[in-house]
């Protein structure tokens, strides 16, 4: 029985990795000017480097792909955890307002430190490194608010959870808009583009800012993933098994908020990935979270890379924020889920 | 000599602002089946949940084997005491055997694989509850009665000497009610399990219990053996019913064979 | 059993006091702004309008239309919300949550792309078509849902479809390079309201209001539930159809006037029911009054939050609305009755 699960998992993962490689391939070869695979390999392996190719690959396309991959991974993982903890298939960090909380806090940060820091790169790498910390604070505040408003009779009320999430994200959205209006014009434009979820101004410092968060938090989450299986039981049963429910949930939730903040601070708010990826993963590898978690991470990666490819090519040379592409792809799937799930 | 395994002292429990009971004290004797009875909303389930640390009491102490439960880690408690809650839920795609294996949580050190000891206990739990036949089915494919037995098996897999059951027979048909209660009785007789449960059916309570606790409005009205509790005056006070009681010639337990509601008293 | 209504004196008091309150609001709104204007100038502008006087022009061309627009839009949205909440017995129903405003904005986006020189009357018409589209999609999805439609589900579907429509709008806008116009347009352009549209909106709004008052008694009965409504001999389908038409007209006009403004349609009916009880004969007119005044005052506030710059009034209503929304969830999250 377990063996069967495991082989299904490995087959799925190989297929997903194939899909990711394919997405990377079309993303890296297409763009303002197309490149062949051979060009890319020769550039990557430093066989016949030319400045043009170096610039396009190392400064534009590669960082963008890496960020798309990391953001997808983070959101896929965080979505799985949030759905697992709340026992709610419709929960998603975006819908719950955690993204918006992190976003508002980062907009505040941008406002006080003037955007130039974040844009101009190397000389201000410090502020980019600090951004996720601010994001974390905002995400944390959102999560605390959600808990306060949906906590009744010693447990989280699922219906209230989503509603307060919607309310909180609207509130933080309004706050972000308000603050961004106080910014200088150029900053304002940056901020709006960033808020709707985009990664086309990617660079290596953003990646550097993200990596420590993922390196520390993802292993913690993965170690605790088996607990998510238990969390699918109802509260009394879990407690009666001797699981320190509140403590374990807090660790998992805080770690996810950290992951989300790291993602939001580089890409803005990209919704629906955290919702869709876990569902597809469960369809593919079953309900065990030790399998769901990596599968969901891989699906998230694929979705964001692929959506970003669409975002840059559909209306080229105009860029569409990737968050909007994801929303257009994600909403129909969300509605489909809503129709399928029982009340 | 009968010893006490659980002793509650001056417990007060609240739901939000509503106090369910205050300053409540009681004790549970080792190796016996104790059943809490009482009308809806009298605090039976809340009492059960409080003594199993599912709900936090506002004040007062619960002693497990004469040790204050606040000082024992929740995992250590789970090795001594298991609770089958009133309406348990699990993902519908979960396999029966996997769900039962969840009961091994407090005993497992590494999360990877089940030890041979774990497997042994799971087999035993399935054997006692007669769930072995559908071990590979998903929860979705089970009837209500089968599910309840699976949940009971999960609690048994915890390998505890104390088992708390919150309305284990609600929503079950007559045959399954009896089947579940007979499993409970067998656990008590053959495996010396201490049982505390909440039941609605007075006759079931009388037949299967050594000790009854009658509650009303958050207070324990009286406690004692069924012969003493299943009596006209007690039932009148607790349930506000006029009951006719006789003794079952088969097993000697008191049976309430008919009753009428008394006019509302305020 | 809830009392059907509180003492009818409360709603009458509100209705009788409303002219004074409205005049007061109008006066406040004209007096306070980036440029202060004193009361005597207003009087002068009304009795002896002088087209060379800058203040007079500000009053007649900008501030007066603006406050009138705010009053109308607030009233329209509040009535729409009240009708939707009564009709669907869903305490979360409101134009912005149910995708009605997003639908309207979506169709307007398309029109701005393909018919840039649209006349005002067409703009209002398309906006109504958009409202109908948004409402149609949301309720359509709601009705094919085989597992029933709880208030929360409907709210979630509405929010998500709203997101979808506004994402589509922004993709289209990016492609046709009208993003900037559109951002401007979406975020409540109450300070740039066009007096011509305002004149067109007035009769539509009044018709909607009168219709709403006519069917208000039926909505009270509908709010007791479909079964009761049918057994009382009410033609439920007719009432619902008329209600939907009213909502579409009023919301469509509101969006055409000032863009998307959230939360007014949600919170005002709640506040109104709290004050006047649950009889929709009183809820609807009082919602209109309270909604209009609320939005007009929010608009005044929006001039001062970030003085001397204007803040979109939608930000103000959201900042007031979100805590209220959370309070609603907190106090009656589990309740299903409207």
CB pairs under 8 A between A and B: 72
Report which of B247, B245, B242 is spatially closest to residue B259, judged by C-alpha positions.
Answer: B242
Mean pLDDT of all residues in A220-243 = 90
pLDDT of residue A2: 62
Residues of chain A in Cβ contact (below 8 Å) with chain C = 90, 145, 149-150, 152, 157, 159-160, 162-164, 166-168, 170-171, 173-175, 177-178, 181-182, 192, 196, 271, 314-315, 318-321, 324-325, 327-328, 331-332, 334-335, 338-339, 341-343
Query: Please, which pLDDT band fits residue C334 given cuts at 50, 70 and 90?
Result: very low
Residue of A nearest to C316 (CA): A174
Q: Is the dihedral of CA B65, B66, B70, B72 positive or negative?
A: negative
**Residue of B62 and A343 predicted with greater confidence:** B62
Considering CB atoms only, which of A235, A240, A287 is closest to B52? A240
- Which pLDDT tens digits describe chain B residue by residue (266 residues)? 568 899 999 999 887 678 888 889 999 999 999 999 999 888 899 999 999 988 888 899 999 988 999 899 999 999 999 999 888 888 888 899 999 999 999 988 766 678 889 999 999 999 999 999 989 999 999 988 899 999 999 999 999 999 999 999 988 889 999 999 999 999 999 999 999 999 988 899 999 999 999 999 888 999 999 988 888 888 888 888 888 888 888 888 888 877 788 776 54
pLDDT of residue B79: 92
Task: Please check whether residue C160 touches A, CB under 8 A.
Answer: yes
Mean pLDDT of all residues in A40-62 = 74
pLDDT in tens, A107-153: 888 777 755 544 554 446 677 777 788 888 888 898 888 888 777 66
pLDDT of residue C185: 62
Can you name the CATH fold of B4-261?
A: Rossmann fold (3.40.50)
Determine whether the interchain pair C157/A335 forms a contact, defined as Cβ–Cβ distance below 8 Å.
Answer: yes
Looking at every residue in chain A, the average pLDDT score rounds to: 82
Residue spans of alpha helices (H) in B54-107? 74-80, 96-102
Percent of chain A with pLDDT strictly greater than 90: 23
Task: Please check whether residue C311 touches A, CB under 8 A.
Answer: yes
Q: How far is CA B34 from CA B197, B221, B251, in A?
A: 6, 15, 18
Determine whether the interchain pair B105/A243 forms a contact, defined as Cβ–Cβ distance below 8 Å.
Answer: yes
Is the pLDDT reported for residue A343 higher than 50? Answer: no
Query: Please, which pLDDT band fits residue A22 given cuts at 50, 70 and 90?
Result: very high
Residues of chain B in Cβ contact (below 8 Å) with chain A = 15-16, 49, 52-55, 73-79, 81-83, 85-91, 93-95, 97, 102-103, 105-106, 111, 136, 154-155, 158, 166
Angle ∠(A140,A146,A147) on CA atoms, nearest 5: 90
Determine whether the interchain pair C150/A343 forms a contact, defined as Cβ–Cβ distance below 8 Å.
Answer: yes
Is the pLDDT reported for residue A329 higher than 50? Answer: yes
Q: Which of A251-265, A318-332, C32-46 has the lowest mean pLDDT?
A: C32-46
Residue of C nearest to A182 (CA): C306
Q: Which chains touch B (3 or more CB pairs under 8 A)?
A: A
Strands B219-224, B59-64: pairing is: unpaired
Task: Please check whether residue A235 touches B, CB under 8 A.
Answer: yes
Q: Compute how many other C-beta atoms are within 10 angstroms of the C-beta atom of residue C334.
A: 11
Mean pLDDT of all residues in C243-263 = 84
Query: Please, which pLDDT band fits residue A336 given cuts at 50, 70 and 90?
Result: confident
- The continuous run of DSSP H or E covering A160 comes out as helix A158-181
Residue of A nearest to B90 (CA): A233
Task: Please check whether residue A89 touches B, CB under 8 A.
Answer: no
Query: Please, which pLDDT band fits residue C1 given cuts at 50, 70 and 90?
Result: very low
Q: Residue A139 class from Cβ within 10 Å (0-12 exposed, 13-18 middle, 19+ buried)? A: buried
A contact test, residue of C156, C161, C307 with most A CBs within 10 A: C156
CB neighbours of C61 closer than 8 A, spacing ≥ 6? C195
Mean pLDDT of all residues in C63-72 = 86
Determine whether the interchain pair A341/C147 forms a contact, defined as Cβ–Cβ distance below 8 Å.
Answer: yes
Determine whether the interchain pair B54/A236 forms a contact, defined as Cβ–Cβ distance below 8 Å.
Answer: yes
Most confident of C51-60, C98-107, C293-302: C293-302
pLDDT in tens, C159-218: 788 888 888 887 787 777 766 666 666 655 666 777 777 888 888 888 888 898 888 888
Crossing angle for the helix pair A204-230 and A125-150, nearest 10 degrees?
30
Determine whether the interchain pair A164/C160 forms a contact, defined as Cβ–Cβ distance below 8 Å.
Answer: no
ipTM: 0.87
Token pair for A126: 């410090």
pLDDT of residue B111: 65
Determine whether the interchain pair A182/C309 forms a contact, defined as Cβ–Cβ distance below 8 Å.
Answer: yes
d(CA A304, CA A199): 10
Q: How far is CA B116 from CA B59, B100, B113, in A?
A: 42, 15, 10
pLDDT of residue B123: 94
- The continuous run of DSSP H or E covering C270 comes out as helix C264-276
A contact test, residue of B88, B97, B137 with most A CBs within 10 A: B88
Determine whether the interchain pair A152/B16 forms a contact, defined as Cβ–Cβ distance below 8 Å.
Answer: yes
Q: Which one-letter DSSP state was computed for residue A55? A: I
pLDDT of residue B152: 93
d(CA A277, CA A297): 7
CB B6 within 8 A of CB B196: yes
pLDDT in tens, A176-200: 877 877 776 666 666 776 766 677 6
- The continuous run of DSSP H or E covering B166 comes out as strand B162-166
Mean pLDDT of all residues in C320-327 = 80
pLDDT of residue C338: 34
Task: Please check whether residue C330 touches A, CB under 8 A.
Answer: yes
Mean pLDDT of all residues in C128-144 = 82
pLDDT of residue C336: 38
Token pair for B205: 């309570």
Mean pLDDT of all residues in A160-171 = 79
Domain that includes residue C45, residue range: 9-332
d(CA A296, CA A106): 26
Q: Which of A42-46, B139-143, C259-263 has the lowest mean pLDDT?
A: A42-46
Query: Please, which pLDDT band fits residue A74 given cuts at 50, 70 and 90?
Result: very high
Considering CB atoms only, which of C159, C305, C333 is closest to A160? C333
CB neighbours of C241 closer than 8 A, spacing ≥ 6? none
pLDDT of residue C34: 66
How many structural domains comprise chain C? 1
CATH code of the domain in which C96 resides:
1.10.3470.10
Determine whether the interchain pair B82/A240 forms a contact, defined as Cβ–Cβ distance below 8 Å.
Answer: yes
Strands A151-152, B162-166: pairing is: unpaired
pLDDT of residue C335: 42
Mean pLDDT of all residues in A328-332 = 85
Which structural domains are found in chain A, ordered by start? 2-340 (1.10.3470.10)
pLDDT in tens, A261-291: 888 888 887 888 888 899 899 989 988 999 9
**Residue of B207 and A1 predicted with greater confidence:** B207
Report which of B17, B18, B26 is spatially closest to residue B60, judged by C-alpha positions.
Answer: B26
Q: Residue C231 class from Cβ within 10 Å (0-12 exposed, 13-18 middle, 19+ buried)? A: exposed
Contacts A319 to C, Cβ<8 Å: 174
Determine whether the interchain pair C314/A341 forms a contact, defined as Cβ–Cβ distance below 8 Å.
Answer: no
Spell out the domain ranges in chain B.
4-261
Mean pLDDT of all residues in A45-66 = 76
Percent of chain C with pLDDT strictly greater than 90: 6
């Amino acid at each position: 029985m377990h063996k069967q699960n495991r082989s299904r998992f490995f087959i799925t993962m190989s297929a997903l990795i194939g899909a990711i490689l394919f997405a990377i391939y079309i993303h890296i070869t297409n763009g303002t000017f197309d490149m062949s695979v051979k060009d890319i390999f020769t550039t990557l392996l430093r066989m016949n480097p030319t400045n043009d190719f170096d610039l396009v690959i190392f400064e534009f396309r590669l960082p963008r792909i890496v960020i798309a991959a990391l953001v997808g991974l983070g959101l896929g993982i965080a979505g799985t955890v949030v759905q697992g903890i709340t026992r709610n298939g419709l929960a998603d960090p975006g819908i719950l307002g955690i993204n918006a909380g992190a976003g508002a806090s980062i907009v505040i940060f941008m406002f006080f430190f003037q955007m130039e820091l974040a844009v101009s790169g190397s000389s201000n790498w410090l502020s980019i490194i600090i951004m996720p910390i601010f994001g974390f604070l905002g995400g944390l505040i959102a999560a605390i608010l959600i808990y306060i408003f949906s906590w009744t009779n010693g447990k989280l009320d699922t219906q209230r959870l989503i509603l307060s999430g919607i309310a909180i994200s609207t509130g933080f959205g309004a706050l972000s808009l308000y603050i961004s209006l106080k910014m200088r014009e150029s900053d304002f434009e940056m901020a709006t583009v960033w808020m709707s979820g985009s990664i086309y101004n990617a660079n290596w410092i953003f990646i550097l800012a993200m990596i420590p968060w993922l390196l520390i938090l993802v292993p913690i989450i993965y170690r605790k993933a088996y607990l998510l299986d238990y969390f699918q039981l109802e509260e009394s049963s879990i407690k009666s098994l001797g699981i320190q429910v509140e403590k374990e949930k807090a660790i998992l939730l805080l770690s996810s908020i950290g992951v989300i903040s790291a993602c939001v601070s580089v890409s803005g708010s990209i919704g629906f990935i955290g919702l869709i990826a876990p569902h597809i993963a469960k369809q593919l590898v079953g309900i065990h979270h030790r399998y769901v978690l990596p599968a969901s991470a891989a699906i998230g990666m694929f979705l964001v890379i692929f959506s970003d490819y669409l975002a840059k090519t559909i209306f080229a040379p105009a860029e569409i924020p990737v968050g909007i592409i994801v929303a257009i792809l994600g909403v129909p799937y969300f509605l489909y889920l809503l129709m399928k799930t029982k009340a | 000599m009968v010893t006490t395994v659980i002793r509650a002292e001056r417990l007060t429990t609240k739901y939000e602002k509503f106090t369910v009971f205050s300053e409540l004290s009681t004790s549970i004797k080792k190796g016996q089946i104790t059943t809490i009875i009482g009308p809806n909303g009298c605090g039976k389930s809340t009492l059960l949940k409080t003594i199993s640390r599912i709900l936090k009491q506002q004040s007062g102490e619960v002693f497990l084997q004469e040790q204050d439960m606040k000082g024992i880690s929740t995992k250590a408690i789970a090795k001594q005491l298991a609770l089958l809650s009133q309406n348990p839920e699990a993902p519908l795609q979960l396999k029966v055997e996997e769900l039962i294996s969840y009961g091994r949580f407090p005993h497992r050190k590494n999360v990877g694989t089940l030890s041979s000891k774990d497997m042994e206990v799971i087999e035993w739990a399935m054997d006692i509850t007669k769930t072995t036949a559908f071990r590979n089915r998903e929860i979705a494919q089970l009837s209500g009665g089968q599910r309840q037995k699976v949940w009971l098996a999960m609690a048994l897999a915890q390998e505890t000497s104390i088992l708390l059951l919150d309305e284990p027979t609600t929503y079950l048909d007559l045959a399954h009610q009896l089947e579940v209660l007979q499993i409970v009785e067998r656990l008590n007789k053959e495996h010396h399990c201490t049982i505390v449960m909440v039941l609605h059916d007075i006759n079931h309570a009388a037949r299967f219990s050594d000790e009854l606790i009658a509650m009303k409005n958050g207070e324990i009205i009286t406690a004692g053996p069924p012969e003493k509790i299943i009596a006209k005056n007690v039932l009148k006070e607790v349930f506000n019913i006029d009951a006719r009681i006789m003794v079952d010639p088969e097993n000697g337990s008191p049976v309430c064979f008919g009753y009428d509601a008394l006019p509302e008293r305020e | 059993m809830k009392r059907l209504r509180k003492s009818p004196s409360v709603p009458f008091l509100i209705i009788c006091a409303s002219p004074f309150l409205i005049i007061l609001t109008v006066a406040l709104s004209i007096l306070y702004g980036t440029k202060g204007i004193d009361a005597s100038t207003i009087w002068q502008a009304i009795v002896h309008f002088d087209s060379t006087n800058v203040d007079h022009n500000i009053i007649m061309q900008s501030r007066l239309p603006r406050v009138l627009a705010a009053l109308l839009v607030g009233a329209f949205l509040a009535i729409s919300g009240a009708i939707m909440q009564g009709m669907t017995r869903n305490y979360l129903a409101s134009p912005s949550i149910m995708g009605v405003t997003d639908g309207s904005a979506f169709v307007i986006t398309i029109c701005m792309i393909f018919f840039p020189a649209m006349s005002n009357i067409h703009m209002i018409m398309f906006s109504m078509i958009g409202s109908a589209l948004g409402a149609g999609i949301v309720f359509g999805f709601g009705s094919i849902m085989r597992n029933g439609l709880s208030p929360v589900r409907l709210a979630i579907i509405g929010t998500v479809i709203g997101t979808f429509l506004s994402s589509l709008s922004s993709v289209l806008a990016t492609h046709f390079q009208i993003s900037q116009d559109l951002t401007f347009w979406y975020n409540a352009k109450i300070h740039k309201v066009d007096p011509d549209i305002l004149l067109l909106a007035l009769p539509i709004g009044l018709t909607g209001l009168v219709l709403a008052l006519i069917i208000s008694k039926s909505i009270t009965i509908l709010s007791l539930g479909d079964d009761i409504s049918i057994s009382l001999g009410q033609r439920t389908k007719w009432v619902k159809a008329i209600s939907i038409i009213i909502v579409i007209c009023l919301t469509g006009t509101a969006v055409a006037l000032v863009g998307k403004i959230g939360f007014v349609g949600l919170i005002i009916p709640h506040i109104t029911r709290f004050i006047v009880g649950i009889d929709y004969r009183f809820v609807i007119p009082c919602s209109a009054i309270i909604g209009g005044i609320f939005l007009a005052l929010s608009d005044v506030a929006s001039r001062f939050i970030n003085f001397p710059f204007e803040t979109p009034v939608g930000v103000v209503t959201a900042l007031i609305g979100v805590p209220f929304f959370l309070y609603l969830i907190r106090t009656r999250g589990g309740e299903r009755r409207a």
